[in-house]
Amino acid sequence: MKQTLENKTKEIVALISNYDFNNLSILSGNTGSLFLLSYYAEFTKDEKYLEKVEEIILQTYNKIQNGEYYISFTYSNGITGFLWAINNLNESGYIDIDLKEYFGDVIPLIYEFIFEKIEEGDFDFLHGALGPAGFLLDTIDIFPNNIEVIKVFNKLLLEKGVYNESSETLYFTSKVIKNDNEYEKVINLSLSHGMAAIIHYLTRCLTIPEIKSNELVVALNQIIKFYKVHQNPTEYNKSYFPSWVALHDHKASNSRMAWCYGDLGIGLTLYKAGEVLNDLSLKNYAYDVLKHSTYRKVPFEENIVEGNFCHGSSGLVETYRSIYQITMMKCF
CA gyration radius, the chain: 20
pTM score over 0.85: yes
> According to the model, what pLDDT value does residue 9 have?
85
> Distance (Å, rounded) from C-alpha 97 to C-alpha 179?
45
| 281-288 CB contacts, 8 Å cutoff, 24+ apart | 282/224, 285/228, 287/327, 287/329
Beta-bridge partner residues of 59:
none
Distances (CA, A) of 271 to 21, 193, 208, 296: 36, 19, 18, 20
71-75-79-80 Cα dihedral, nearest 10 degrees? 140
> According to the model, what pLDDT value does residue 170 have?
96
CA angle 88, 76, 256 (to 5 degrees): 110
- Tell me if residue 164 falls in helix, strand or coil: strand
Taking 70 as the pLDDT cut, the residues of the chain under it are 235-236, 252, 312
List Cβ neighbours of 110 (8 Å cut-off, separation of 6 or more).
73, 80, 132, 135, 136
Instruction: Outline where DSSP puts E strands in 34-182.
Output: 162-164, 169-171, 174-177
> According to the model, what pLDDT value does residue 312 have?
66
> According to the model, what pLDDT value does residue 317 have?
77
With left for phi above 0 and alpha for psi between -120 and 50, is residue 145 left, alpha or beta? Answer: alpha
One-letter identity of residue 273: A
> Distance (Å, rounded) from C-alpha 33 to C-alpha 24?
10
> Distance (Å, rounded) from C-alpha 200 to C-alpha 194?
11
With left for phi above 0 and alpha for psi between -120 and 50, is residue 29 left, alpha or beta? Answer: beta
> Distance (Å, rounded) from C-alpha 13 to C-alpha 33?
9
> Distance (Å, rounded) from C-alpha 90 to C-alpha 82?
12
Residue 87 has a CB neighbour count (10 Å cut-off) of: 17
HSE on the CB side for 206, CA within 13 Å? 21
